[in-house]
Structure 1
Amino acid sequence: MLEQTRQDAPSPWHEGELAMQRSVGVVERMDGPGRNFLRKAMPEQHRAFFPMLPFIVLGAVDAKGDVWATVRAGHPGFLVSPEPEILDVSLARDPADPADAGMEDGDAIAMLGIQLETRRRNRLNGVIRRADAGTFHVRVGQSFGNCPQYIQPRSSAFVRDPDLATAIPPLHSGQLDDRARRMVEGADTFFVASYVDRNNGERQVDVSHRGGYAGFIDVGADGVLTIPDFPGNRFFNTLGNFLVNPKAGLAFVDFATGDMLQMTGRAEVLLESPEITAFPRAERLWRFTPEAVVFRPDALPLRWSLPRDL
């Protein structure tokens, strides 16, 4: 039997992504890019990109079905692609990281390679095949690039060996305390993980970057985050996932201290709301209600700095 062509193959978009695309009238326009840009293997430029990175953003789902976003660091070269369908990852298990529970053999995972100083980013998702406690590889399900919009340029440097974990224990809570609230309210960058279980039985996890002006997230008195969705590539991976499965995981990094704030909870997409006008350039909003919060002081061995001309 002849292999299906991209135009004959089923749409790569699931129903949630299609519903978001319908909401702005771009379903037909996004069909071609979906077939052409969502690949089942990494192009050469992506394979060359990942080994340069000193950190990776991950999205994983724990045994309870909660999704977590995290950032993990390593010496450049800890990510290597021996073939287009595979990304090898050298990272030790980290019981302090709530996302680590979703990184067992056979688990679905999402990865975002992002180079803040150049504003390059590439995403992939796939399935973990774990060799041991210090390595695993990901068999690619989808691989695609993203534009540099909303990425705040930053340069990074290690302040300790990335193989040495911090001695400071994580702090667990069911809600945002004042420190976490300040971290969210002052952020210009965060990462969000989401997932769906496709009709073919495969779990598809996504993790992406969200950026804006400092203070672009509103935190209500009840601890609920209201987040603007700015004009983008119309893929709607994150919001489309929320329509099907309203679970979300957020990660905020204090770039000056290496502290990380991780949350898992529920998301709601607001396609129309009078509140949208309060957020410059926003096309729609989404809300996030935290259900579990983990604050991890000194979690990352990297420190980032802004360009000198800012």
Structure 2
Amino acid sequence: MTSGAYHWGALAVQARVGVRDLAEHVGRSIGTGIRDVAAAFIGLQPHLVVGATDGAGRVWASLLTGAPGFVRATGPDRIAVAGGPPTGDPLAEALATAGTPVGTVVLDPRTRRRIRLNGTLEVTRGGFAVEVEQVFGNCPKYIQRRQPLELARQGAGVVRRGEALTPDQRRTVRDADTFFIATTAEADGVDASHRGGLPGFVEVLSPVELAWPDYAGNAMFLTLGNLTADPRAGLLFPDWESGAVLQLSGRARTEFGADGSRRTRFRVESVVESVHPGRLLWSTPEYSPHLGSTTR
């Protein structure tokens, strides 16, 4: 890092947008310790989003699920995860390799709360742990509220792999109100973050190209900063009502408009579609009230 919590890519975006002072203030919330209230929150959640790089250098975001308590804080700078990604997941090998840099998001649709924890993976018996180097909360902006319904029982596994989106997958992306994005800045580790909007906020420009607006947020620009330093990215689109998961890996870049708007364009390089085991099904969403006042 070149300035507290930020590396040069984030600093460059903050300077371009004109929020360096605000970002410096907000950046003080990034710590290394997991507080008791955060530990309690983590232990109640049934899923964890993890971002990492596979053996071929592709960045992915994966969804891990389990009964509440499968992720728990075991110290002020450590979380333990029981189990791992499902069979066929593109990060299966990376999440079984000690020293893998990872970014994680713990998000609760019921309360619209989220915590991000980034660090280095340690292999444990029956799962893995993360030695946490960064931990911070984010505001509830753009998170859709959902309620759990039931645990799915039908079969699971990888449904389809490819290098471009099928018509059904393109429909999934267009209908999405939520996705997760994993990015990296190499020596500065991996970060995983959340994006939310009304259905249609992610545009499908072609079977291999997507775009979405960057809404006003916390001024950190960790994701856009990583993409400035390294264009690799992984996207995760969960289908909350069926348990299906769409994972994309590719490269992204940010376009800055003369009116101050920002837009990210993503080029698809690899696609994995799967049905998740032990998945919790969720209700239709109550959209975030902030979506009525988004800025592009």
Aligned to 1:178: 167
Decide whether aligned partners of structure 1 residues 128 and 158 sit closer, same or farther in structure 2, where only a CA change above 3 A counts. farther
SS of residue matched to 1:183: helix
Aligned to 1:188: 177
TM-score, normalised via structure 1 length? 0.87
Deviation of 1:299 (Å): 4.9
Alpha-carbon distance in structure 2 between the residues aligned to 1:297 and 1:213: 24
Match of 1:224 among 196, 200, 209: 209
Deviation of 1:166 (Å): 3.6
Deviation of 1:285 (Å): 0.1
Aligned to 2:292: none
SS of residue matched to 2:158: coil
SS of residue matched to 2:43: helix
Long gaps (5+) in structure 1? 1-8, 277-281
Deviation of 1:220 (Å): 1.0
Deviation of 1:300 (Å): 5.6
Deviation of 1:82 (Å): 1.9
Letter in 2 for 1:289: R
Decide which structure has the larger Cα Rg and report it: 1
Q: How does 1:275-290 map to 2 (within 5 A)?
A: 283-290=261-268
Alpha-carbon distance in structure 2 between the residues aligned to 1:167 and 1:285: 35
Aligned to 2:20: 27
1:7-58 Cα offsets, whole Å, 9 max, x none, are xx95220011001100111112322321x21101112211111000011111
1:42-78 Cα offsets, whole Å, 9 max, x none, are 1221111100001111111111211101111100011
SS of residue matched to 1:128: strand
Aligned to 1:294: 272
Letter in 1 for 2:78: I
Q: Does residue 103 of structure 2 align to residue 110 of structure 1?
A: yes
| Contact 2:151-2:278 within 8 A present in 1 as well | no
Letter in 2 for 1:77: G
Aligned to 2:283: 305
Alpha-carbon distance in structure 1 between the residues aligned to 2:218 and 2:75: 28
Decide whether aligned partners of structure 1 residues 43 and 309 sit closer, same or farther in structure 2, where only a CA change above 3 A counts. closer
Alpha-carbon distance in structure 2 between the residues aligned to 1:30 and 1:147: 14
SS of residue matched to 1:170: strand
| Contact 1:229-1:286 within 8 A present in 2 as well | yes
Deviation of 1:221 (Å): 2.9
Q: Does residue 90 of structure 2 align to residue 98 of structure 1?
A: yes
Q: Does residue 118 of structure 2 align to residue 125 of structure 1?
A: yes
| Contact 2:156-2:275 within 8 A present in 1 as well | no
Percent identity of equivalent pairs: 36
Aligned to 1:64: 56
Deviation of 1:168 (Å): 4.0
Decide whether aligned partners of structure 1 residues 258 and 272 sit closer, same or farther in structure 2, where only a CA change above 3 A counts. same
1:180-212 Cα offsets, whole Å, 9 max, x none, are 0000011111110001123xxxx4111111001
1:252-300 Cα offsets, whole Å, 9 max, x none, are 0111111110000000110127xx8xxxxx9310100100001113456
Across the aligned residues of Structure 1 and Structure 2, the Cα RMSD in angstroms comes to 2.1
Q: Does residue 252 of structure 2 align to residue 260 of structure 1?
A: no
SS of residue matched to 1:249: strand
1:118-159 Cα offsets, whole Å, 9 max, x none, are 100000100111123x22111111000000000010112442
Deviation of 1:308 (Å): 8.0
Q: How does 1:30-41 map to 2 (within 5 A)?
A: 30-34=23-27, 36-41=28-33
Letter in 1 for 2:246: L
Aligned to 2:146: 154
Q: Does residue 227 of structure 2 align to residue 242 of structure 1?
A: yes
Aligned to 1:12: 5
Deviation of 1:238 (Å): 0.7
Alpha-carbon distance in structure 2 between the residues aligned to 1:93 and 1:289: 25
| Contact 2:174-2:201 within 8 A present in 1 as well | yes
Letter in 2 for 1:152: Q
SS of residue matched to 1:81: strand
